[in-house]
Chain A
Amino acid sequence: MRRPGAVWTAAALAVASVLAVPSAVVLASLARPAREVWVHLWRTQLLEVLGNTLALVAGVGVGTLLVGGGLAWLVVTYRFPGARVFEWALILPLAVPAYVIGFAFLGLFDFTGPVQTALRAALGAGARLPALHSWGGVVLVMTLVFYPYVYLLARTAFREQGAATLETARSLGRSRLAAFREVTLPMARPSLVAGVSLAMMEALADIGTVATFGYRTLTESVYRVWYGMFDRAAAAQLASLLLLFALGMLALERGLRGRARFVQSQRRGAGIAPVRLRGGRAGAASAACAAVLGLAFALPVAQLLAWAGGALGGWRAPRFAALLGHTLLLAGLAATLAALLALVLAYAGRLHPSPGVRLAARSASMGYALPGAVIAVGVLVPLAWLDHGLAGALGWLAGHPVPLLLTGSAAGLVFAYVARFLSVSFQTVEASLGKIPPSLDDAARSLGAGAGGTLGRVHLPLMRGGLLTALLLVFVETMKELPATLLLRPLGLDTLAIEVWERTSEAMWADAAAPALAIVAAGLAPVVVAIRLSGRRAS
């Protein structure tokens, strides 16, 4: 008999080695260090920029853990006015691109915005708010933008936990809070860590928000060297440092997950029964949810609506339909492919947990920590190399010149999306798969099911929530994605995000509001579907 999982291991290694190419291209730039640039950066900014980056990533990690994890705990385990609505509504900010929230915040709260203008009118010309162009401002905005990752994963984890464990702890005399700390939290830890590390990687790779807020991070320096010194090679070397950051976070993540493994002995059976809050506590819970939702969703959307105002008239329906169609199709393809490949990687790791497979999966999902334009060039260069070879061969066979087939094709673009967002689907799928007890695998196998059959009939039904989360996250990410789309899209294939970029690159926000709203609206649909499919609160 073949060793179980040999085919899966081979498939995982193949998938991983293809998806790791873009990151490898970036790392390969280190072969010829741009000494002069490094010396210059060291003398002028490198330490400051590294410090800023660490501070930002740490701030966003803590911020998203508190907001995302806290809100998830609140809506799963308590009843308070609006809880049912908040439970799904708190996912909505996911559909708002980071740069939209950032710009809406600046528009409202910086010196020229209505809030400070009113303050000055009331209190005199010296009245000021704390500066948004600061660590605090950037962390606040990024926490609001990225907390849904943690929230989504934590909510699924809390809900997938049976009530029995929590109640056993309670019957043993633990208070609700102690039971949460000692039972619920450790069991949800893989999901929380996965969500937080996604948020931290996003913060690491972000350029839109840090540029808007004038906060210098490593990613900002990457662009400065690339755009400002025409030195893409040195920029790629600098970006390799981001991969080191990501590696550090992975190590941290491993450490935090600890050696303990938590599996669930039962499926949802009875979920945690929510406790009704009363009086001031209920009010406080509602207010916390409303505040986050208001800042992260209602406020930017209201600002967009205000900007859009009469500008909606300039929209031609056929163009809008084409943009929407392209956006949805690309996002759908990328989400499906990323989920499938993540499943292959995660399942291979489960069947045969060798360091090789684990390393392969990790290196395939490193791209997430790289700025989008950098990873896009990492896709472009090898793709074009392959393509020239292909076109040469085909042209020789055909007897006439053949154009490039992959460069600037939808296939190349979807590959870039998957290379960029695999981390999102992999983290989600792996966390979900890890909660299924291995005894189930053994039982299925002893009843004669193969590795594939066990996955299809035992694991997939149990992972429904996790898989849906993975699909949803990559779908929405792809819809908002800009740099890879800009660089790799086929001629004439514009998306909603491109339309927003075209209009905002010159700060014409009123013009951009309509397509930005369309992105938000299109992002809401899968959010709602996912919530429906993942089942209502078990009560």
Chain B
Amino acid sequence: MRATPFRSPLLALALLAALPAAAGAQAPGEIVVYSARSHYNQEPAFEAFTRKTGIAIRTLGGNAPELFERLKAEGDRTPADVLITVDAGNLWNAARAGLLARVDSPELAQSIPAHLRDPEHRWVGLTTRARTIMYHTKKVSPAELSTYEALGDPKWKGRLCLRTSSHVYNQSLIATMIKRHGESRVEDVLRAWIANKPVLINSDTKILEAIAAGQCDVGLANTYYLGRLVAKDPAFPVLPFWANQQTTGTHVNISGGGVTAHARHRAGAIKLLEFLTSPEAQQMFADANFEFPANPQAGLNPVVARWGKFRQDDINVAATGEFQAAATRVADRAGYK
């Protein structure tokens, strides 16, 4: 008989069965983390946890909305013990869908300020990200800057760079503004930004580079992106201006995590979160990515410390989830693409 095409599917099935084995079987007691943080494979704090406790960690990386779908589809048979995302909104959404379990840990409550964790104790911040105004040091004097809202002043016409409103970082900023001021006032703010004909760029790093290259003079970006650029080139001509210090405080978001509702290793998962929020691990987060530690007891990376202290907006970051859909709609109505 000639080789028919029909023998190969059997071979294919055999290979498929062998694949998970090639990827390594799950060790007993191993904690499984679904993580939307970039470089999820190289978290120094995870490695430190394993060294300290002997508990191994296995991560599955992905985009938060897709990890959400997987967690939901796997239901009570999920292998995941912990969900980590880079935005409070996604944690809020997972908690709302019943995917995260309440954890009453005095240690977590003590380590992390109240506005950076779930009021109902289902998730907690691991790192803080400040999104603020960035300016070209030679073209703009800090005295010209004040608030996010004031970027709608006509003096910034043609001088503003913004990230597209499709990105969650801007949606979160807009969401907290809506929580505080209501949709119609925020819509006016966005209209004023758009009236200044901002250059829309889909990357924080590119926004900072555009400011440095002179395409615009001011923009909005998360500070750790600037940290990375400054670490490479100390003469990089962009500085952060701490927005809204006289009013609401500078907008912060978190990367954070929670224990899944059907975690098979709940005790280990809680232990992991407690370790990740301890000053020791917080220092590692701060150093690895120029983020601000969520635990105020941990020190800052020297690059970050140079930018000075600032007052955070202390509205609970859950607002980013609560008002994210509204933020997207308001941006759409204001013509902010």
Contact = CB atoms under 8 A, between A and B. Distances in A.
A and B associate: yes
Contacts of B41: 494, 502
Nearest to B94: A230
Interface string A34-54: 000000110111000000000
B202 interface: yes
B166 A224 contact: yes
A117 B215 CA distance: 11
A502 B40 contact: yes
B40 A491 contact: no
A486 B65 CA distance: 11
B325 A231 contact: yes
B299 interface: no
Nearest to A215: B337
Name A's interface SS.
helix
Given A492-B60, A507-B205, 14 more contacts: A44-B329, A117-B213, A227-B166, A230-B65, A329-B19, A333-B15, A387-B77, A410-B19, A486-B61, A489-B60, A491-B23, A491-B60, A502-B41, A505-B63
A28 interface: no
B210 A111 contact: yes
A214 B214 contact: no
A212 interface: yes
Interface of A: 40-41, 43-45, 106, 110-112, 117, 125, 133, 211-212, 214, 216, 220, 223-232, 322, 325-326, 329-330, 333, 336-337, 340, 343, 373, 376-377, 380-381, 383-384, 387-388, 391, 401, 403-404, 407-411, 414, 452, 456-457, 483, 486-494, 498, 502-503, 505-508
A229 B20 contact: no
A340 B10 CA distance: 13
Contact of A414 (B16, B40, B206): B16
Residue with the highest number of chain A CB atoms closer than 10 Å, among B39, B327, B333: B39
B205 A380 contact: no
Interface residues of B, number: 65
28 contacts: A111-B215, A117-B213, A228-B168, A231-B325, A329-B15, A330-B19, A333-B15, A373-B66, A388-B75, A401-B77, A407-B74, A409-B20, A410-B19, A411-B13, A411-B16, A411-B17, A456-B2, A483-B66, A486-B62, A486-B66, A488-B70, A490-B23, A491-B23, A491-B79, A492-B24, A492-B60, A503-B38, A507-B203
Given A333-B16, A336-B8, A211 B166 contact: yes
B250 interface: no
A229 B66 contact: no
The 3 closest A-B pairs by CB, nearest first: A384-B73, A410-B19, A228-B328
A11 B148 CA distance: 62
Contacts of A111: 210, 213, 215
Contacts of A411: 13, 16-17
Interface string B22-33: 111010000010
A492 B69 contact: no
A337 B9 contact: yes
B19 A214 contact: no
Contacts of B274: none
Residue with the highest number of chain A CB atoms closer than 10 Å, among B171, B321, B328: B328
Interface string B81-111: 0000000010001000000000000000000
B324 interface: yes
Residue with the highest number of chain B CB atoms closer than 10 Å, among A45, A232, A505: A505
A301 to B, nearest CB: 22
B60 A224 contact: no
A232 B209 CA distance: 34
Contacts of B20: 409-410, 490, 493
Contact of B69 (A133, A232, A322, A502): A232
B55 interface: no
B5 interface: yes
Contacts of A407: 70, 73-74
A212 B205 CA distance: 13
A227 B164 contact: no
Interface of B: 2, 4-5, 8-9, 12-13, 15-17, 19-20, 22-24, 26, 32, 38-41, 58, 60-63, 65-66, 69-70, 73-75, 77, 79, 89, 93, 164, 166, 168, 171, 200-206, 209-210, 212-215, 225, 228, 321, 324-325, 327-329, 332-333, 337
Name B's interface SS.
helix
Contacts of A488: 70
A188 B328 CA distance: 47
Contact of B325 (A228, A325, A401): A228
A490 B171 contact: no
A511 to B, nearest CB: 9
B5 to A, nearest CB: 5
A376 B215 CA distance: 39
A225 B24 CA distance: 37
B166 A112 contact: no
A125 B214 CA distance: 9
Contacts of B39: 502-503, 506
A54 B315 CA distance: 43
B337 A214 contact: yes
A305 B221 CA distance: 28
B73 A505 contact: no
Contacts of A211: 164, 166, 202
Contacts of A333: 12, 15-16
A333 B66 CA distance: 24
A229 B325 contact: yes
Nearest to A41: B332
A336 B66 contact: no
B38 A230 contact: no
Contacts of A336: 8, 12
Contacts of B225: 507
Nearest to B335: A44
A340 B166 contact: no
Contacts of B333: 43-44
A494 B35 CA distance: 14
B282 to A, nearest CB: 20
